[in-house]
Amino acid sequence: MMRFFIATALIYSLVCILSLLLIYPTAIRAEDNMVSVELNPKTFSTQQPARLTITVTGRQDARITIPEVEGLIFHRRGQSSQFQMINGTSSSSVAYTYLVQGTEPGDYSIPPITVATKDGTHLTTPISCTVTDTPPTLPTHKQSQSSAPQETIEERNDAIAFIRLIPEKQQAFVGELIPTTIKAYFDQGVKFKFNALPEFRGDGFLMDSLGNEPRQQQEIIDGKSYLVLTWDTTLTGIKEGQNDVNLEMDVSMLVRTRQQNQRLPGFGGGLQNDFFDDFFGRYENQPIRLTSTPIHMTVAALPEEGKPGDFSGAIGTFTLDINAQPTTISPGDPITLTMTISGTGNFDNVSPPRLSESAGIKEYTPSISFNPGGHDAEDTKVFEQALVITDNRIRHIPPVVFSYFDPRKEQYRTLFSDPIQIHLETPPPVPITEQTLGASTARKDTTVSPESGPPFAGLAPLKLTTGRVSEAVRPLFKQPLFLFAAALLLAAIAGVTGYRARSRFLARNPEVVRLRQIERERAACLQSLSRVQSFDQAAYLSGAQQSVRHFLARLWGCKAAAITTADITNHLGSEHPISRLFILCDTVSYGASDHTGTERDTLHKEITETLATLT
């Protein structure tokens, strides 16, 4: 009996500990390729974003949290589902796509991304990337010494090749998707080799990545036949204002070369090889850069007047369709509410519609699936949400509400669905009859008939021997195993309580968090300065300026890219060591400095001493 009590206490303690741990879900590493992440390319420019793809295998819905990285901006571009069946084994996955925009050059590290699924929280592996001022250099082909230098061909109808950027409109709102067509024209009488995809040029806009297989067709312009490559993409305005956008594309024109004044051997020099030159002529690559005509684009902010409270940033033209199954339920049965939003627009910002009234209804987190419609077809986003009626007086599901901004009419719109009638079934009461009463009485009647024998005939005989006798009874709370389990439980409770108290303290004291972040940034800046001290003058100035700029951005609460030399001199004065560092960097960039190593060491010492106390 004592062992039973001890085992029961241990099991109870372990259950309590596991319950506490389950209250605070912990992050686990993505295993068995359930969650994967890919950045392509890992070296990109400030003018051309990279594509970040997060793939979740075996799950149809996930909540993704992208950490903030100073110098990088993440734009969600949608999701796609994939289903495969190989040798009778099926697998499914969902890919979430983001565009990564770099605001300033440098080396960056994207921390682990949090992916929450029904199985728990997963963390992806960190990713390193590099942002440059200019697009990465494309691989060039070998050319002979007689090749002509690269020629730039602007858009005109009589050219042998040209490229056009054709947006659907030239005025848009921030976050609005602008359908855009790219057409590259090539004279069919000339041979070309394509080196790379068209590159977008323009601040304040992002362009979706282009596919490697454009549509091909023929067009005749001014009597000349052209091979036309067509890409369908979208432009997104991310910054208010006016900007000029255009395209550039590097191609190679194949030019035939002939060897002059060559004669065939063995014929006394009397027979030239013109026939063989024509038949076996060689080709050389003539590099050409195609440039489209700049297009003036205007981006405006969304109006504040009339903005609904549930507006989540959806811009476009949408329709709402609602379906609920089943509509005849018993108390406590779930109802699956399917909400389908179709149309054209930025589906990345389309959030689940909400019920106009939620009293008496328990709502669960909906699952999300996105189905791109492709060229000239509407996209579709489906939300499946489970509902449970907790108030038996409710006889209908309230209307569903979804708000968006219509850029064509330049106004906000709110869609309401019709209420859905439901029928709540209640179990019928059990009728009381003479048979049920007789059965109940029969169960309570313990009278034994004479034919059934003695009343205890089937029971085991009493055991009259004495069992083991204990001289002293030790209470359960004094048992070593119980004390160990209790101590373990108290330690777990203390740890969880301390963690919650610390989290609440940091949430109520954001200034403490900010000061800690500043100190971490200060230590990182000093460490970086110590690392670049042994570099040459140009590398030292560049590294020191970048490290100090990031520290000042954290200290002043602004973007590092927005800090200029004038801002620093206004804050700290022109004689401050940090101001002199930035002035020196500007001077060196124009080649007007003869700064010595001794002066640099002196300035380095003053900067490190100043950073240690700068607040």
User: Cβ(383)–Cβ(351) under 8 Å?
Assistant: no
Which sign, positive or negative, has the C-alpha torsion 258, 262, 263, 265?
negative
**% of the chain with per-residue pLDDT over 70:** 74
What pLDDT was estimated at residue 454? 53
User: Cβ(138)–Cβ(44) under 8 Å?
Assistant: no
Between helix 510-532 and helix 480-508 the angle, nearest 10°, is 90
> pLDDT of 441-456, one tens digit each?
544 444 444 444 555 5
- CA 281 to CA 279: how far, in whole Å? 6
pLDDT band at 81 (very low <50, low <70, confident <90, very high): low
The distance from CA 411 to its chain's CA centroid, rounded to whole angstroms, is 29
Mean pLDDT of 133-153: 50
Residues 585, 590, 594, 597: what is their CA dihedral angle, to the nearest 10 degrees? 30
C-beta atoms surrounding 209 within 10 Å: 16
Q: What length does the chain have?
A: 615
User: Cβ(165)–Cβ(180) under 8 Å?
Assistant: yes
SS (H, E, C) 365-397: CCEEEEECCCCCCCEEEEEEEEEEECCCCCCEE
Residue 92, both tokens: 């499914």
User: Cβ(124)–Cβ(37) under 8 Å?
Assistant: yes
What pLDDT was estimated at residue 470? 63
What pLDDT was estimated at residue 334? 92
User: Cβ(360)–Cβ(390) under 8 Å?
Assistant: yes
Residue 165, both tokens: 């950027």
Mean pLDDT of 297-304: 90
What pLDDT was estimated at residue 491? 92
Residue 306: half-sphere exposure toward Cβ, Cα within 13 Å:
11
Strand-pair partners of 340: 321, 382
Mean pLDDT of 129-155: 58
Output 81 or 120, whichever has higher pLDDT: 120
Is the model's pLDDT at 146 over the cut of 50? Answer: no
- CA 291 to CA 250: how far, in whole Å? 9
Instruction: Output phi, psi for 262, to 5 deg.
Output: -105, 135
pLDDT band at 271 (very low <50, low <70, confident <90, very high): very low
- CA 288 to CA 76: how far, in whole Å? 35
> pLDDT of 505-557, one tens digit each?
887 888 888 888 888 889 999 988 888 888 877 788 888 888 898 888 888 88
pLDDT band at 266 (very low <50, low <70, confident <90, very high): very low
The lowest-confidence range among 234-238, 332-336, 430-434 is: 430-434
Residue 396, both tokens: 């209908």
Is the model's pLDDT at 357 over the cut of 60? Answer: yes
Which sign, positive or negative, has the C-alpha torsion 304, 306, 311, 313?
negative
427: Cβ contacts below 8 Å, ≥ 6 apart: 330
pLDDT band at 279 (very low <50, low <70, confident <90, very high): very low
User: Cβ(166)–Cβ(183) under 8 Å?
Assistant: yes
- CA 64 to CA 112: how far, in whole Å? 11
Per DSSP, the three-state class of 293 is: coil
What pLDDT was estimated at residue 32? 44
Omega into 126 within 30° of 0, i.e. cis? no
- CA 249 to CA 213: how far, in whole Å? 15
Write the CA distances from 598 to 489, 535, 609, integer angstroms. 63, 14, 17
Mean pLDDT of 332-360: 89
- CA 144 to CA 147: how far, in whole Å? 6
pTM: 0.49
What pLDDT was estimated at residue 44? 86
The lowest-confidence range among 58-67, 146-155, 202-211, 544-553 is: 146-155
> pLDDT of 555-564, one tens digit each?
888 888 888 8
User: Cβ(548)–Cβ(607) under 8 Å?
Assistant: yes
Q: What is the mean pLDDT of the chain?
A: 78
C-beta atoms surrounding 214 within 10 Å: 18
Q: Please, is 496 exposed, middle or buried when counting C-beta atoms within 10 Å of its C-beta (0-12, 13-18, 19+)?
A: middle
Mean pLDDT of 186-203: 83
Per DSSP, the three-state class of 415 is: strand
Q: Please, is 220 exposed, middle or buried when counting C-beta atoms within 10 Å of its C-beta (0-12, 13-18, 19+)?
A: exposed
If we measure between CA atoms, which residue out of 554, 570, 525, 560 comes closest to residue 615? 554
Which sign, positive or negative, has the C-alpha torsion 103, 105, 111, 115?
positive
Residue matched to tokens 């241990």: 10
Strands 120-123 and 27-29, by their bridges, are parallel
pLDDT band at 142 (very low <50, low <70, confident <90, very high): very low
If we measure between CA atoms, which residue out of 407, 255, 435 comes closest to residue 346? 407
Write the CA distances from 609 to 222, 365, 523, 544, integer angstroms. 71, 53, 12, 14
What pLDDT was estimated at residue 320? 93
